[in-house]
Structure 1
Amino acid sequence: MEDQSTVVDTIAASLANWGLRVIAALLILVIGMWIAKKVKGLFTTILEKKEVEPTLIGFFANLLYGAIVVFVAIAAIGKLGVETTSFAAVIAAAGLAIGLALQGSLSNFASGVLLILFKPFKAGNFVKAGGEAGIVVEVGLLTTELKTPDNIKIILPNAQVMGGSITNFSAHPTRRCDMVVGVSYGDDLKKAKQIILDILEADERVLKEPAVQVAVSNLGDSSVDFVVRPWVNAADYWAVKFDFTQKVKETFDAEGISIPFPQRDVHLFQEAVS
């Protein structure tokens, strides 16, 4: 009877011990999850006050929450008497394996974070990046989506975007429209210049400041070239350029100013046959 009593006492003590461990582990899980949610909410609030990009807020908040949950789970398992060193080693090994497998994706992710933080461009800007040009539709954590002027969708890896130069044509509200107009050597340069100035002055889309620049820039093989540099709102750039090109041709034709094209004189020599 004494042996049976001893066994029962041992089992009861073990159950009580394990019961306390299970209760402690559950408390750690419950309290830890509560703390994780609170920390996530506080972290999100801080980032929102600092006006961080919403995409980054959600990602980093979830990343922090996940890290806390993993830590709490390991602590709860340890409270049950299970050796947690092996768990940590497995997690570290898994993290290394995933990092090596997703090396390219991690590079794109890091580039995406930089794009969102430093904002070299935003949705709606017309840019040239990663060897492509188009309107920015969306900047994601891994890729950037562009739409070309002819309505083609382009998906660029963020690492490719950050790996080269970025030209943002929409960064400033105004742009200088650089054009070249050639006239014949026999034409009146002052008259041609005045015609160009009159065309630009009549166009309400051309800004008064900075002032328009029209000057002789080159004495070419077959033409005298004027450089024409009006300033316009960025949205009017192409319309002004196209309309000016047509208008200057029509006005030059009406005023007798010729726009020369490349030409070559060929001289034929006839040799006497003896």
Structure 2
Amino acid sequence: MEEFQSLFESVMPQLVEYGLKVVGAIFVLVVGWIVAGWLSKKVQRQCESSETIDDTLTPLLAKVTKILGLTVVVIFVLNMVGIQTASLVAVLGAAGLAAGLAWQGTLSDIAAGVMLLVMRPFNVGDSIEVDGTSGTVEEIGVVMTKVNTFDNVAIVMPNSNVWGSNIKNMSANDKRRIDLVIGFGYDDDIDHAIETIKNILDNEDRILEEPEPKVAVSELGGSSVNLMVRPWAKQEDFWSLKYDLIKRIKERFDEEGISFPYPSKDVYLHKEES
């Protein structure tokens, strides 16, 4: 009995000490869980109020914040109860490295997706051209971006390809310049052709006064004199105005007797006497 009592007296302080550590660890774990949840909600509210962070990215950032917070809390709690975490951290680091190598392409797409959602080089509904592909943006995801081409073909592009290419956003500015090259014959009067085109531009309400439209001789071609025609229009009027101008210039040139030259060759035949 005395031996049991002495054993109990020797073990009791250790049990009390370890019990206090466990209770403290549980308390820290609960508090850490609450703090991690609070930080997650805080990040989510900040992202939702920000104009630069996309709604698609908000839940991802909130979840990552909570996971990182809980990871720190768990490591701290394990240290409190006397468990060595150095080897655990090393194992987690090795596992993270292996997963990173295995998912290298996907992680690259995710990183590029985050940059696209934060930097916003284009938005859903914009007309863009990326790496030779033109179309309207339908969806900007964390991993992939979906674009519908102008002939309504759906194309899904990895975000790393999008972010790593030159991005041409044709919807970013509220006005665009129309570039036309109009050729006419060498026998026609240059000033007459220029004034005819200027008259068409002056009578078109969709053409902006500022910047001022430009009409000038750009090239003396092999079979035609080429005029550079550059009016400015609102973004929404660009394509319809471009097509209408081409049609009207052709009709007015026909009315004014200004010719559109055809590619031609002169062939000379020489008959040899026998």
TM superposition score normalised by structure 2: 0.89
**May I ask how many residue pairs the two structures share in their alignment?**
273
Q: What's the CA shift for 1:6?
A: 4.3
Calculate the aligned-residue CA RMSD, in Å: 2.2
- Taking a change above 3 Å as real, the CA distance of residues 169 and 77 of structure 1, as seen in their structure-2 partners, is same
The 2-side partners of 1:34 and 1:18 are apart by: 24
Structure 2 counterpart SS, 1:55: coil
Find the counterpart in structure 2 of residue 215 from structure 1: 216
Contact kept, 8 Å, 2:214 with 2:231, in 1: the verdict is yes
Segment of structure 1 superposing worse, 3-12 or 143-152 = 3-12
1:8-46 residue CA offsets vs partner (Å, 9 max, x unmatched)? 656766655554343222212111101111222333344
Find the counterpart in structure 1 of residue 26 from structure 2: 26
Find the counterpart in structure 1 of residue 41 from structure 2: 41
Find the counterpart in structure 2 of residue 64 from structure 1: 65
Find the counterpart in structure 2 of residue 122 from structure 1: 123
Find the counterpart in structure 1 of residue 133 from structure 2: 132
Q: What's the CA shift for 1:85?
A: 2.1
Find the counterpart in structure 1 of residue 148 from structure 2: 147
Counterparts in 2 of 1:116-265, with a 5 A limit? 116-265=117-266
Find the counterpart in structure 1 of residue 272 from structure 2: 271
Find the counterpart in structure 1 of residue 113 from structure 2: 112
1:57-83 residue CA offsets vs partner (Å, 9 max, x unmatched)? 332222121011112122223333332
Q: 5+ residue gaps in structure 1?
A: none
Q: What's the CA shift for 1:47?
A: 4.3
- Taking a change above 3 Å as real, the CA distance of residues 52 and 200 of structure 1, as seen in their structure-2 partners, is closer
Structure 2 counterpart SS, 1:51: coil
Segment of structure 1 superposing worse, 27-36 or 140-149 = 140-149
Letter of the aligned partner of 1:162 in structure 2? W
Contact kept, 8 Å, 1:130 with 1:163, in 2: the verdict is no
Find the counterpart in structure 1 of residue 74 from structure 2: 73
The 2-side partners of 1:67 and 1:186 are apart by: 77
Segment of structure 1 superposing worse, 260-269 or 151-160 = 151-160
The 2-side partners of 1:133 and 1:188 are apart by: 39
Percent of pairs with identical residues: 39
Letter of the aligned partner of 1:246 in structure 2? K
Find the counterpart in structure 2 of residue 99 from structure 1: 100
The 2-side partners of 1:234 and 1:134 are apart by: 15
Q: What's the CA shift for 1:50?
A: 4.6
Contact kept, 8 Å, 2:52 with 2:119, in 1: the verdict is no
Contact kept, 8 Å, 1:130 with 1:156, in 2: the verdict is no
The 2-side partners of 1:270 and 1:80 are apart by: 111
Structure 2 counterpart SS, 1:204: coil
1:154-179 residue CA offsets vs partner (Å, 9 max, x unmatched)? 11122212222121111211111010
The 1-side partners of 2:36 and 2:89 are apart by: 20
Letter of the aligned partner of 2:35 in structure 1? I
The 2-side partners of 1:95 and 1:128 are apart by: 36
TM superposition score normalised by structure 1: 0.89
Structure 1 counterpart SS, 2:36: helix
